[in-house]
Amino acid sequence: MRLGGFVIHGNSADTLERCLAGIAAVADECVAVDSRSTDGSADLVRARGFRRVELAWRGYGAARAAAVEALEGCSHVFFLDSDEWLEPEAIAAIRAWKATGGGTVPYHGLVRRDWADLDGHRFLFRTEHHVRLIRREAARWDPSMIVHESLPPAPTVQLPVHVEHRFATSVEAMRSKVDRYALLWAIRYRAEGARRKTPAVQKWVHAVRHAAFKGAIARGGADGWRLAEAVGHYHGRKYALLRELDRGAYPELVQAYADGRLEDLYRMLPV
């Protein structure tokens, strides 16, 4: 097998180096899709010997599709986000998986550990399974995936391999970030006919799920609850914005998405 690895990044110099190191340690060919960074991230990419693809930002779907296209000739692809990394045991496990030839299953899932570091209080916020090792012909991302760029359902084998993720360093920054994601979600899924749900119910269901059932309070105490509430805010905000769009809000953004003018969409997003 030949494993292609990629990362998509913008101004990510503070987290990118260890991400690149993990990809380089397991992949036979490495690509970095750069959404026109200005902070020295491109120099880190060059120093690691990654092939650099510069692309104006049109969302993760378009960027991942560009990365897969650049990795033509690879049988499988692996990716990390720019704020993720691999510890040595994960690198060893992926190398061992490579030695088996990868098999014919379209997807392999890894366990992502989301770490919070709030004013020096570091704790594991949650763990989730994410598909990260993919047969190249099954890696079918497209530009419409402006948020929640999940691949179509297909047979998946879960591997006991951990990806580490710097999930949050500030609750306030998290809330600001998820507000933008929520608007992108509402624009995309309104076009796809998403079912309407009650925002307040969604907020508290997801907040309690993360705080209690996923263990955020047990591991993070009050900070765990604050972060769980921010995640719940995201889920409630998605459906609140869906209602606003139904009433005619953000017409320029809705039209830009409908027209496929994704660069314009991101440029017009509220800060």
Q: How far apart are CA 174 and CA 185, in angstroms?
A: 16
Which CATH number applies to 3-168?
A: 3.90.550.10
Q: State how far the Cα of 7 lies from the Cα of 141, in Å rounded to an integer.
A: 14
3-9 vs 76-79, strand pairing mode: parallel
Domain ranges of the chain: 3-168, 171-268
- Number of alpha helices (DSSP H) and beta strands (DSSP E) in the chain: 9, 8
Q: Is the pLDDT of residue 59 over 80?
A: yes
Over residues 146-177, the pLDDT tens digits come to: 987 889 999 999 999 999 999 999 999 999 99
The DSSP result for 62-104, as a single string, is HHHHHHHHHTTT-SEEEE--TTEE--HHHHHHHHHHHHTT--S
Rounded to whole angstroms, the Cα distance separating 166 from 118 reads: 11
Token pair, residue 230, equals: 């921010």
Terminal-residue alpha carbon distance, the chain: 44
Which pLDDT value is given to residue 100?
A: 94
For 28-41, what is the mean pLDDT? 96
Over residues 126-151, the pLDDT tens digits come to 999 999 999 999 999 999 999 878 89
Query: Please, how many CA atoms are within 13 Å of residue 27, restricted to the half-sphere of its CB?
Result: 31
Instruction: Grade residue 108 by pLDDT with cuts at 50, 70 and 90.
Output: very high
Mutual angle of helices 216-246 and 171-191, in 10-degree steps: 40
Question: If we measure between CA atoms, which residue out of 175, 15, 2, 8 comes closest to residue 80?
Answer: 8
69: pLDDT strictly greater than 80: yes
Q: Report phi then psi at 159, rounded to 5.
A: -110, 145
**Which of 130, 262, 101 has its CA nearest to residue 187?**
262
- Confidence tier at 191 by pLDDT (50, 70, 90): very high
pLDDT in tens, 210-257: 999 999 999 999 999 999 999 999 999 999 999 999 999 999 999 999
Average pLDDT, the chain: 96
- Beta strand pairing call for 107-118 and 121-135: antiparallel
- Answer whether 35's CB lies under 8 Å from 16's CB: no
